[in-house]
Amino acid sequence: MDRLRPTILAALLLAAVLSGCGVNPVTGKQEIQFVSESQELQIGASQYAPTRQGEGGDYKTIPELTAYVSEVGQKLAAVSDRPLPYEFTVLNSSVPNAWALPGGKIAVNRGLLTELENEAELAAVLGHEIVHAAARHGAKAQERGTLLQVGMVAAQVGIAMSDMDQNLGGLLAAGAGVGAQLINTRYGRDAERESDHYGMEYMKRAGYDPSAAVTLQQKFVALAQKQGGGGQAGWLEGLFASHPPSEERVQNNRARLAELGSPGGELGKERYAARLAPLRRIAPAYDKADQAVAAARKKDLKGAKALAAEAEKMVPNEARFALLRGDLEMAGKDPKAALSHYERALQLDGEYFAAWLGSGTAYYRLGNRTEAAQRLERSAKLLPTAPALYYLGNIAKESGNLERALELYKGAAGSQGEIGKAAAAEYASIDVQRNPGNYVASAPQLDARGALVAIVENRAPVAIADLALSAVLLDGNGAIVQQGPPVRLGRALQPGERIAVDAGVGQVAPELVGRVRFRIDGARPVQGR
């Protein structure tokens, strides 16, 4: 019977793999598909809104720009190999980037549009992203994780707050960064080659000149080299992080152009210039805002405020400039001054999380918990961030709602940076008295005299006091057969501190040490952290 078990296991795994086989709708190749189309659609639909929030929010200052990008995108989607509910939007970010979520949800940043020279280059960008969605590249990234798990089984803001250099990725609350992980995943060479290859086919079908895909890649390579030499900031953190350019891709696109017969087609240079003219006219204002952020990161708040004010004067209806001015006042620890700017930002765009977060934080620091809670809740509904959940946790804790506070702190504690650490400490300050055993590690050991001691370590992010424990002796079945007296530690134990404590039972035979465990009977957090 034992000889059959490996065979049965192999058969079960083979059945699981075969049941997940399918045909790629773009390449026509057989492949394992553990993520169904309905799941792809669900992922895209659920993550599109929060991912857009986290990547700058929808660009509303020139709404005609999004309509134009969507028009071009839908022309390409209509000739793609896979019908999906494709959507296209422009995001309010200077970082040159474009991305696609599973299910055909696609975004292009404002900062990428200004780098392109004609509509065909825009078509090359959008066609490339359409292939990522149509060929299931995002779904495949998830399936690789699924396959890894199967193998293992078989084997066994932004808000500035007080520092302007916090990046939003580190402020996302637990569970809020799924879309961000998907769009920031670095595509492999095969995925990029497929997206270039079939994207150029879609360009030809839609009537665009696929030679624009060659000039686009040439431009990207040149810009990447410039960035490597200390040139234009933002490229490596944007498009190139997930879509690495290379001379190889340029040559592949040239070869693909020859395969397509160098068909020519529409470049749309004049039309693109006309549609982009309103954005190019106000581009200097965005440059000033970007310079303001750079100055703030260098702790030059005075210079940053002057630049932000200039940007807002140039384009008064841009909500992000008012938001930036509010963030800068918060960075200067003046929440009262920040509020007027945040209110202006909300009047211009009440659907972006950051102004709600900023104003909620300002009200919190001014002591208005009611208004703070309402605004922080609005912010977290649009995009759950660690600061919003942390301050809401504090408000819940102050009102005595400890269960709600624990839930909020837990969500915030998964983020990076100081906010995450503070949330973890607050969580522990409530939970350590309820579940002290979750925060104290212990192990038995004999000292030089043969007496039993407990090696205890505080694994909580806060200091603990009144640590109480008892030694217990287990039988072969894990049942307690004998218990020692309660022992209480007479001093506080700092986070990460490890000490030896007399277990209070005297000498113990060495052969029994392996059956000794320590029950953590109690502990409390040290107040006044």
CA dihedral of 269, 271, 275, 276, whole degrees rounded to 10? 10
What is the identity of the amino acid at 484? G
Task: Calculate mean pLDDT across residues 506-522.
Answer: 95
Task: Calculate mean pLDDT across residues 357-381.
Answer: 98
Q: Quick one: pLDDT band at residue 139, thresholds 50, 70, 90?
A: confident
| Greater pLDDT, 240 or 39 | 39
**pLDDT value at residue 222:** 84
| Greater pLDDT, 144 or 167 | 144
Residues of the chain with CATH 1.25.40.10: 289-384
Sign of CA dihedral 82, 85, 88, 92: negative
Residues in the chain: 529
Task: Calculate mean pLDDT across residues 39-52.
Answer: 92
Pairing of strands 87-91, 105-109: parallel
Round to whole Å and give the CA distance between 276 and 8: 62
SS3 category, 241? helix
Round to whole Å and give the CA distance between 353 and 180: 16
Phi/psi for 251 (5° steps) reads -65, -40
Tokens representing residue 156 in the block: 């066994």
**pLDDT value at residue 35:** 82
CATH number of this structure's domain 289-384: 1.25.40.10
> For the chain, how are helix, strand and coil distributed in percent, rounded to 5?
55, 15, 30
What is the identity of the amino acid at 402? L
Q: Give the strands of the sheet with 440-446, arranged side by side.
A: 440-446, 451-458, 498-507
Sign of CA dihedral 365, 368, 371, 373: positive
Helices (H) and strands (E) in the chain, counts: 20, 12
Residues of the chain with CATH 2.60.40: 437-525
pLDDT at 227 exceeding the cut of 90: no
Tokens representing residue 435 in the block: 């579940």
Pair 305, 325: CB distance under 8 Å: yes
Please report which residue ranges of 156-268 form alpha helices under DSSP H: 178-184, 189-205, 211-228, 239-242, 247-259
Q: Classify domain 437-525 at the CATH topology level.
A: Immunoglobulin-like (2.60.40)
SS3 category, 496? coil
Tokens representing residue 53 in the block: 């929030």
**pLDDT value at residue 16:** 44
Which residues are within 8 A (CB) of 292 and not within 5 positions of it... i.e. 6 or more apart? 303, 304, 305, 307, 308, 311, 324, 328
How many CB atoms are located within 10 Å of the residue 420 CB? Answer: 20
Whole-number average pLDDT of the chain:
87
Tokens representing residue 340 in the block: 């007027």
Q: Quick one: pLDDT band at residue 13, thresholds 50, 70, 90?
A: very low
